[in-house]
């Protein structure tokens, strides 16, 4: 068989079924004020790993609450520059983009990229300007997906009014309680020239379609800046989580939405200091479920895989009740890497894994992507037509992470004199069930894990029992 056919078949089995998805701010990008410095950090930390994963055949998606302008001016611009630098512009077709809380999806087909030829021509082909803001040309916005997520025009007007009224009340309370708040919050983060910044509602719209069928749709109404636990002074974040100014404001907005007959919409925490109002069903999980189905990378139940088994997700807001990355944990089989800086807020549920005790944000994401690429190279390099691999690169990554971590944890436990005999018996029971080949034992194990996840979710753990991946033995990495 020709090498090209061999390589194509290997990628089809090992990497093309894989989807790597991630939030943007504090996960892929460092979110610092200096745009040039942010770009350089991206080129140094993550761009090589992302491009290599795409080159190996994986799909890559960015799912963010950012506006389409923010996504174009940062992620898309940075990514195209990196691809042009490495002569890999055709790989752009393997990247997928969701913005506005996952309400807008766009993608660039391979044939269009090959026709463009150069970086400058490609940029002019796919990006245009609306006023002072960048936007993706309307024909690349997925219209079918947009019809599921848009906010009707009269509803957008009513939501804006509710947010504006809520902002006025918020400002009154902020001024009245300034002395109380300044002990726990860094108020300078929501001030300019010593004055509080008034939150302003913004209806985020997108152009879609082509020719005579062009339209303009709103998918999200955002209120920002709003004081949240993310503005807490050092040591106060855990105390304020779930009990901050933004949480109270969200409840007030939701009550007003429900009372005005707009209960099909939901107010949620957005970024670090914003509130997003979208259709109730719309969140990052909704976007990701659509893409998994659209790309046909769902797990194969005949192999015992769940819907999200071939997908991994990175986010820095994997927090029960207060993080816009948390909804993706409901996708069965999906592995979520919590790169949160505040690891004590990571939920203790089985789909969530904390990749590093030391690193957070883009650094932690880069380390996992490096491991993914290593697994992909190993499988592709050893691929045999006589005995083709049954593992995807994501399955190999999970196998590496879990087996390494389990060995290290057991080694660490053996060094601890405080481990009770009952604890060893509990571990022995689980290992015995795992070692049995009968379906009943596997079923019992899955029931136990689901029950534990349900309990921990209901408890809404906020400290002392953080994510399952945070018990780092001996040398933390």
pLDDT-based confidence at residue 116 (cuts at 50, 70, 90): confident
φ/ψ of residue 77, rounded to 5: -60, -50
Of 319 and 169, more confident: 169
358 pLDDT exceeds 70? yes
Confidence (pLDDT) at 389: 66
- Global pTM? 0.89
More confident residue, 389 or 390: 390
* Residue 97, SS3 per DSSP: strand
Look at residue 460 in the predicted model and tell me its pLDDT: 59
Q: How confident is the model at residue 189, as a pLDDT?
A: 94
Provide the token pair at 63.
Answer: 């799912």
Indicate if the pLDDT at residue 455 is higher than 90: no
Render pLDDT for 218-267 as a digit per residue (tens, 0 to 9): 999 999 999 998 899 988 887 888 889 999 999 999 999 999 999 999 99
The whole-number average pLDDT for the span 28-49 is 94
> What is the average per-residue pLDDT within 38-42?
96
Question: Which residues are 25's β-sheet partners?
Answer: 29
User: pLDDT grade, residue 2 (50/70/90)?
Assistant: low
**Exposure letters 146-185 (e unless 16+ CB within 10 A, then b):** beebbbeeebbebbbebbeebbeebeeebeeeeeebeebb
Distance CA 14, CA 374 (A): 13
CA proximity to 128, closest of 53, 73, 190, 79: 73
pLDDT at 348: 84
Residue 473 has pLDDT above 50, yes or no: no
Query: So where are the chain's domains?
Result: 3-65+284-381, 150-279
- The whole-number pLDDT of residue 384 equals 84
Helix ranges, 77-229 (H): 77-85, 110-116, 119-126, 143-149, 153-176, 178-181
Position 461 pLDDT exceeds 60: no
CA angle 405, 407, 410 (to 5 degrees): 105
Does residue 55 register a pLDDT over 90? Answer: yes
Instruction: Collect contacts of 169-175 with beta carbons under 8 A, ≥24 apart.
Output: 169/252, 170/199, 170/226, 170/245, 170/249, 171/196, 171/198, 171/199, 173/245, 174/227, 174/245
Mean pLDDT of 307-311: 96
- Check residue 5 and give its pLDDT: 64
CA atoms of 203 and 276, how far apart (whole Å): 10
Whether the per-residue pLDDT at 322 is higher than 90: the answer is no
Identify whether the C-beta of residue 273 lies closer than 8 Å to the C-beta of residue 226.
yes
Q: Are 119 and 84 in contact (CB under 8 A)?
A: yes
Position 147 pLDDT exceeds 80: yes
What's the pLDDT band for 270 if we cut at 50, 70, 90?
Answer: confident
For residues 3-13, average pLDDT: 81
Q: Which long-range contacts (CB under 8 A, 24 or more apart) does 265-269 make?
A: 265/151, 265/155, 265/159, 268/101, 268/324, 269/228, 269/317, 269/322, 269/323, 269/324
**Mind listing the pLDDT tens digit for each residue in 198-221?**
999 999 889 998 877 888 999 999
Query: Tokens 């408890």 correspond to what residue?
Result: 459
Right CATH for 3-65+284-381 from 3.40.50, 3.40.720, 2.40.50, 3.30.420: 3.40.50
The rounded percent of the chain whose pLDDT value lies above 70 is 94
Amino acid 373: pLDDT: 98
Percent of the chain with pLDDT over 90: 65
């Amino acid at each position: 068989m020709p090498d090209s056919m061999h390589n194509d078949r290997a990628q089809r089995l090992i990497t093309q079924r894989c989807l790597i998805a991630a939030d943007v701010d504090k996960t892929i990008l460092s979110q610092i004020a200096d745009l040039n410095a942010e770009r350089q950090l991206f080129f140094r930390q993550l761009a090589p790993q992302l491009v290599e994963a795409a080159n190996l055949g994986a799909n890559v998606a960015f799912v963010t609450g950012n506006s389409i302008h923010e996504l174009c001016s940062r992620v898309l611009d940075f990514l195209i520059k990196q691809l042009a630098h490495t002569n890999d512009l055709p790989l752009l077709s393997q990247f997928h983009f969701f913005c506005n809380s996952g309400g807008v999806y766009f993608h660039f087909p391979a044939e269009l990229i090959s026709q463009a030829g150069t970086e400058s021509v490609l940029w002019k082909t796919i990006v245009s300007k609306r006023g002072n803001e960048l936007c993706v040309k309307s024909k690349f916005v997925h219209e079918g997906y947009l019809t599921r997520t848009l906010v009707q025009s009269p509803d957008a007007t009513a939501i804006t009014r509710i947010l504006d009224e809520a902002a006025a009340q918020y400002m009154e309370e902020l001024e009245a309680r300034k002395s109380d708040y300044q002990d726990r919050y860094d108020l300078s983060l929501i001030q300019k020239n010593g004055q509080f910044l008034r939150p302003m509602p913004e209806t985020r719209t997108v152009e879609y379609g082509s020719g005579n069928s062009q339209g303009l749709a709103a998918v999200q109404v955002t209120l920002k800046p709003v004081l949240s636990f993310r503005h807490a002074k050092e040591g106060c974040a855990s105390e304020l989580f779930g009990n901050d100014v933004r949480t109270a404001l969200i409840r007030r907005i939701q009550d007003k939405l429900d009372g005005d007959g707009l209960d099909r919409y939901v107010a949620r925490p957005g970024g670090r200091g914003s509130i997003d109002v979208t259709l109730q069903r719309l969140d990052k999980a909704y976007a990701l479920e659509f893409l998994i189905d659209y790309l046909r990378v769902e797990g194969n139940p005949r192999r015992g895989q769940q819907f999200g088994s071939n997908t991994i997700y990175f986010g820095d807001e994997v927090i029960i009740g207060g993080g816009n990355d948390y909804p993706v944990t409901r996708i069965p089989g999906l592995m979520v890497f919590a790169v949160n800086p505040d690891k004590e807020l990571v939920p203790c549920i089985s789909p969530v894994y904390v990749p590093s005790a030391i690193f957070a944000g883009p650094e932690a994401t880069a380390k996992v992507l490096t491991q993914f690429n290593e697994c992909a190279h190993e499988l592709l390099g050893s691929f045999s037509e006589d005995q083709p691999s049954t593992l995807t690169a994501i399955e190999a990554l999970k196998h590496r992470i879990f087996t390494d971590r389990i060995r290290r944890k057991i080694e660490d436990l053996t060094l601890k004199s405080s481990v009770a005999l009952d604890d060893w018996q509990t571990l022995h029971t689980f290992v015995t069930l795992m070692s049995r080949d009968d379906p009943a034992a596997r079923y019992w194990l899955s029931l136990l894990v689901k029950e534990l996840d349900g309990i921990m979710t209901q408890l809404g753990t906020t400290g002392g029992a953080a994510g399952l991946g945070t018990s780092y033995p001996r040398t933390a990495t």
